[in-house]
Structures are given as structure tokens and as C-alpha cells.
A and B are shown apart, each in its own frame.
Chain A
Amino acid sequence: MLRKILLPSILIILAYGFWISPDFKEISAGVAIFLFGMLTLEEGFKAFSGGTLEKILQKSTDKLYKSIGFGFVTTAIMQSSSLVSVLTISFIGAGLIGLTQGIGIILGANIGTTTGAWLMAGFGLKVKISAYAMPMLAFGVILIFQKAKSLKGIGYILAGLGFLFLGIHYMKDGFEAFKETVDLASLGVDGFKGLLIYIGIGILATVVMQSSHATIVLILAALSVGQITYDNALALTIGANIGTTITAVIGSLSSNIDGKRLAGAHFIFNVVTAVVAVVLMNQIIYVVEIISDFIGIANDNHTLKLAVFDSLFKIMGVLMFIPFIDKLVNFLNRTLKTKSSKAEDSFDSVKYLNDSALELPSISMAVITKETTHLYENAFEIITHGLNLQRHNIVSSMPLDEVVEKEYSKEAVDIDDFYNRKIKGIYGEIIDFSTRAQSHMSPEDIETLYKLKLANRDIVEAVKDTKHLQKNLVKYSKSTNEHIKAQYNTIRRDLAELLRNINIIATTDEEDVMIMLLSKAKLHTKKYDILANGTLDNLIRKGLITNEMATSLMNDSAYAYDISKNLIEMANVIFIENNSEMKSIGEDMLISDDEIDSILEQKEVS
């Protein structure tokens, strides 16, 4: 409802402003160009986020001070806290970093935004910035048209900076010309009332522009030509800091629970810091004066003093919050919980997929991989129970013959029910998400994504084959005919071995163990195929099983063979090809089908 009213109101106000004042038009155009510059700059940095940024993020966030440092540095370089926030939300959503680290990054990003104020106050307002903008735009646009991703990225960054500079130029010019017709400073309000009014204006301006950076640049441009008073500018800066959290809260509505918690932390941090700043306003201004004197800022240089205020107020907030981060995390985990009814509880849903992850291809890929692993964990449960085995025995070191003896249930479990509750929904969501993620991906990424989709299909097929296998497996594993019973228990044993090995592959860091176990699994699948190794022929020839049993065994061994093949393929994609050390060599190091045949032939000869 609010959105429906807000947009037309803004458009009407803007149109009216353009009609009565050409200078207002220039200022607005400056803000629009500046915001477009920020979008372009973000687009440029996204081109370089295909792994490098994410790797640095993961390695730089294991300690709180590192998270804060990372947030500061990346925001200072990219001049966009929103891109850093988006990345952070995506990483939390993907389970790659925790909420505490995420909050650390946001705190650092908050300090990082102050570099924008310093650049604007120290450089942007003193030189003819548009002179730098023009060549940047020209070079930038030429590079944007290039095919190479890196050149395109550089082009977007150059064009983005060009637009930022051009926007600042127009804002500055607009305010200078505006001053000749209307003196906004005469509308300034003093005292506590003025403080609250201008905080409100700061909030509103940031919510409308969706960027505190743009608001602060606008404040500095107005302050530099004396269109607003220094006191009112300070209040506007506090307001901008609150307004930016509203933008983050709105942005988090489409994200998962972790994204919402992070936005909650951002909101609490900025509002509390703002309240403290209002209460201690006089003391902070006093400290700003001392610092300004110390670093040699002239008494009448209000723009640089504003930059000092902005930095001091944000650093103060971060220092104030550091001791309480763990408490804040606990509070957010307690208060913001996923809503689920009892009926929904029995249906498992996706854990990692969320729309915020769609922003960057590498993050989309990371969440799809994690979700596929989640799907496999559910499939592992279904397959194990379908084979009438106990999960904890499979992942233990219990001898496999004993694992087979210990049944899960006296009756067959309902695999259809399991499938509907724990597989179907997640599988559908992964495919839907992959299709949406694909539109932002390069051809190489699409190829990797295709393999991931196939891995998902392999998991689903393995579950379906287990359902087919289960029927006779329950019947014959208790048969009075010892031969057929032994065959079905061998199938259970072989699959239990495969599931155990995949579990080890999924949890180990040792690459040699991974490729050894997967190669072994490939070898055993072929070795234990009773059609190929002659076991079935033997049983029939010697009349040890009936014709009906032989037909069932032949069909079911084919199902078991397919389950093994599908699970091996899946494990290769998820655990070998997605392992950073094994990615480029895993495929070549696994033994091929010909090599398997040669090992089997050797055995026959010996």
C-alpha cells in the first residue's frame, strides 16, 4: 500500500520541482547520475566476484577483527556498502559464514562508507571533478562493449566512477545556482527540534535514494555552498545512517531467515548508535573540534569536519557494539525464527536457496551445491531405510555383515511418503532456482550447473530405484531359500558399503582417500554385478532358485547397479569436482572403465 502511494508522490513532487526550478532539476539529475554510477560500479565489481572475492571473504572472516577489517576494506575500495551487504547475506544464506562474522562485516562496512565522505570533502569539492568524469566515461563505455568479462568489468567500474563524479559535479553546480534564488540555510532549524527534523529528513532522503552514500554526498554538496548549516548537516548524517538500515530491512524481505537476522542486526546497530549520538551530540562535536584541530582542518572547513564527525560517530558505534555481538546474535536467533506449522515440519524444505544468492553466479553455484548435498542427505536416509538398514550403523565402523543383520524395521518403510516429504519439494526448488540462476551465468558456469542438475537427477533416480528394489528385497531377505536370501543380503551389503564410502568421501579432507574410495566403488559396482560375474547363471543352472526368483533377482540387481552408478556419478560431481584441490584433476585421477576391466581380467587370470 505504502509503495503504491510513495512512488507516484515522489514523481509528482519531482515533476513540480522541475517545473518551478531549473536548479532543482540539475541537483536531481546529479543525484540520479550518482545513483546510476553506483549501480554501474556494483555491476563492474560483480564481474570480478567469480571466486576471488568469495575466497577472500571466506578466509578473512574467521575472526571478528578480520570480518570488520574485511568489511571496511572492501567497502572503501568498492565505495558501496550495499554490494558488501548483498554478498554477506548471500554467504550467510549459503552457510559459508556465520551470523557473527556477517555482523562483523556489516560493522566494518559501516566504517568503510566514511571513506566516501572523506573523498568527497577532501577531493570532490575542491577540484573540477567533471574533468575526470569525461575520459572515464569514454574509456569505460568502450570497454563495456568488449566481449571479455574482465574488460567489461573494468569498463563498468570506469563508467561507474565517471557517473559518480559527474553526479557530484551536477549536485555541486545545482546547489551553487540554487543559492542565488533560494537560501535553504535560512530555513534551518536550531536546537533539539532542528536535530530531530533533520534526522527525519536524512532518513527520508536515504529511503528514497536507497543509498546513504548518495545522501551524504548530497549533504556535503549542500554544506559546501552553505545551503545547510553545519549542525543540520550533522543531523542529516545521523538520519542517513538510520535510513540505510530501512533500505537493508526492505532488501532482506526476499532473503532467508539469516538475511533477515543480519538486517535486524544492522538496524539495531545503526539505530542504537544514532540514539547514543543524539544523546552525546555536544560531546561528539567537542571531540570533532579537537580532532580537526589536531589534524589541521581549518575552523571554517565544515565539509571535512562533517567527514570527521561521520567517522567518529560510526567508529564509536562499532567499538560500543563489539563486546555485545554474541549477545546480539543470541537475541536475533531467539526472536527471528522460521515460521512453520506442524504439517510443514514433516515436509523438509530447502535450507540454502534464497533469492539474495541469485545476485552472483558463484554464490548461486555454492548454494545449489550445498542444497544438492542436503538432498543427498535426505536420499541417504530413504535409501538406507529402504534397504532396511540403520543409518548410524552405516556411518560407523561396524563390520558390514553385522550392519546387514541389524534391521531398521520389521515392515517395509513407505518410500513414496518419504519421497514426497523429503525429496520432491527440494528437488523441484533446486531445478527452479538453477533455471533462474542460469540467466546470470557464463557458458562455463552453465556447464558446471548442468552437471549439478544431473547430480540431482541421479539422487532422485537412486531413490526411485530403491523403491523398486525394496519390494522383493523385504520379501527375499527373509526367504527360507538360503541362496536367494544370501543374494539379496549381498545387494544390501554392497549398497551399505557404497553409502559408507560416500559418507567418508563427503567428510574427509584427504584427496587420496576420496579418489581411492570412489575408484573402489566404481570397481565394486562392476565386480558385484551378478549378471556380469556369472553368479545368476550359476544359481539357475544348479537349480538353486526358482524361475520367479531368478527374474526378480535379475531385475533387482539391475536396480542395485543403477543405484550404485547414480550415486557414484553424484559423488563425483558434488564431492570431487567441487573440491578446490581436486576440481581440475579429479576426473583424470579416477580409474576409467577400461582400467576397471583390466583389474577384473587380472583377477580372473590369477
Chain B
Amino acid sequence: MSIKKFMQSVRESLGLSDFEKSGKKKSVKNLLKKLRNREDKILKSLKKKIEKKEKKELKEELDIISLQIKNGKKILDKLNS
């Protein structure tokens, strides 16, 4: 067995190769949670009576957040597969 393979098997048996992956997953999940909270807040604000300019800005933020949540889900799916 080459040293590279040996190190790989040690990493796997100690669960070190998943360490990086799980860290990334945790970051994405945290971020998604924050984005969803923000999305909820915007949706609630949009239901209220607000100025046209403010409404436009909130809608723009909502568009961005929706795309970001979509991107976050994609990353998560990739990490889970």
C-alpha cells in the first residue's frame, strides 16, 4: 500500500475527510436559516402598507434572497450526494 493510500485510509477511518465537508454543510445550513428568516421578514413587511419606493427595494431584496436560497439548496444537495 502506498503512503498516500495509507494516509487516505487513516483519514477515512478517523472521519477526517468528512470533516471539511461537514463544516461546509454547517455553514450553508446556518446561512440558509438566516436567509429564510430574512425572507419571512420581507414578506411580512410587504403585506403592510408601505411607500412605493420602499416596496420596490424590498421586492428587489426578495428576488435576490430567493436566488440565494436556491443556490444554497443546490450546494447542500451536492454535499449530500
Q: Tell me the A residues contacting B by CB distance below 8 Å.
A: 146, 148, 150-151, 510-512, 515-516, 519-520, 523, 581-582, 584-585, 588-591, 595, 599, 602
Q: How many A-B residue pairs have CB under 8 A?
A: 63
A602 touches B63 (CB 8 A): yes
When chains A and B are docked, how far (Å) is the Cα of A146 from the Cα of B7?
Answer: 12
Instruction: Evaluate whether A589 and B31 lie within 8 angstroms (CB atoms) in the complex, with A520-B64, A584-B24, A599-B64 already known.
Output: yes
B71 at interface by CB-CB < 8 Å: yes
Contact of A585 among B24, B61, B63 (CB under 8 A): B24
Instruction: Evaluate whether A512 and B38 lie within 8 angstroms (CB atoms) in the complex, with A589-B71, A591-B64 already known.
Output: yes
When chains A and B are docked, how far (Å) is the Cα of A590 from the Cα of B24?
Answer: 16
B75 at interface by CB-CB < 8 Å: yes
User: What are 18 contact pairs spanning A and B, CB under 8 A?
Assistant: A148-B4, A511-B34, A512-B31, A512-B35, A515-B31, A516-B64, A520-B60, A581-B30, A584-B27, A585-B24, A585-B72, A588-B74, A589-B68, A589-B71, A590-B68, A591-B68, A591-B71, A602-B63
Q: Which of B53-81 contact A (CB under 8 A)?
A: 60-61, 63-65, 67-68, 71-72, 74-75
Instruction: Evaluate whether A511 and B31 lie within 8 angstroms (CB atoms) in the complex, with A591-B68, A602-B63 already known.
Output: yes
Q: List residues of chain B with CB within 8 A of the CB of A589.
A: 31, 68, 71-72, 75
| Residue-wise interface mask of B (19-53) relative to A, using a CB-CB cutoff of 8 A (1 in contact, 0 not) | 00001100110110011001000000000000000
Q: List residues of chain B with CB within 8 A of the CB of A584.
A: 23-24, 27
B1 at interface by CB-CB < 8 Å: no
Give A487 Cβ to nearest chain B Cβ, in Å: 20
Chain B: which residue is nearest A584 at the CB level?
B24
Interface size class of chain B, counting residues whose CB lies under 8 Å from the partner chain: 20 to 34
Q: Tell me the B residues contacting A by CB distance below 8 Å.
A: 3-4, 7, 23-24, 27-28, 30-31, 34-35, 38, 60-61, 63-65, 67-68, 71-72, 74-75
Q: List residues of chain A with CB within 8 A of the CB of B34.
A: 510-512
B30 touches A511 (CB 8 A): yes
When chains A and B are docked, how far (Å) is the Cα of A590 from the Cα of B70?
Answer: 11
B64 touches A523 (CB 8 A): yes
Chain A: which residue is nearest B72 at the CB level?
A589
When chains A and B are docked, how far (Å) is the Cα of A20 from the Cα of B44?
Answer: 92
Give A572 Cβ to nearest chain B Cβ, in Å: 15
By secondary structure, the B interface counts as helix
Give A516 Cβ to nearest chain B Cβ, in Å: 6
By secondary structure, the A interface counts as helix
Chain B: which residue is nearest A602 at the CB level?
B63
Contact of A148 among B3, B31, B65, B71 (CB under 8 A): B3
When chains A and B are docked, how far (Å) is the Cα of A602 from the Cα of B68?
Answer: 17
B3 touches A519 (CB 8 A): no
Contact of B68 among A146, A519, A581 (CB under 8 A): A519
Q: List residues of chain B with CB within 8 A of the CB of A511.
A: 27, 30-31, 34
When chains A and B are docked, how far (Å) is the Cα of A237 from the Cα of B23?
Answer: 48
Q: List residues of chain A with CB within 8 A of the CB of B27.
A: 511, 581-582, 584-585
When chains A and B are docked, how far (Å) is the Cα of A519 from the Cα of B71?
Answer: 13
Instruction: Evaluate whether A585 and B31 lie within 8 angstroms (CB atoms) in the complex, with A148-B7, A523-B60, A599-B60 already known.
Output: yes
- Among B27, B38, B72, the one with the most A-chain Cβ atoms within 10 Å of its Cβ is B27
Q: List residues of chain B with CB within 8 A of the CB of A515.
A: 31, 68
Contact of A151 among B3, B24, B60, B63 (CB under 8 A): B3
Give A50 Cβ to nearest chain B Cβ, in Å: 14
Q: List residues of chain B with CB within 8 A of the CB of A148.
A: 3-4, 7
Q: List residues of chain A with CB within 8 A of the CB of B38.
A: 512, 516
Q: List residues of chain A with CB within 8 A of the CB of B71.
A: 588-589, 591
Q: List residues of chain A with CB within 8 A of the CB of B65.
A: 516
Chain A: which residue is nearest B25 at the CB level?
A585
Q: List residues of chain A with CB within 8 A of the CB of B28.
A: 585
Chain B: which residue is nearest A510 at the CB level?
B34
Chain A: which residue is nearest B57 at the CB level?
A520
Give A275 Cβ to nearest chain B Cβ, in Å: 50
A599 touches B63 (CB 8 A): yes
Apart from A510-B34, A523-B60: 18 A-B pairs, beta carbons within 8 A: A148-B7, A150-B7, A151-B7, A511-B30, A512-B38, A516-B38, A519-B68, A581-B27, A581-B30, A584-B23, A585-B28, A585-B72, A589-B72, A590-B68, A591-B67, A599-B60, A599-B64, A602-B63
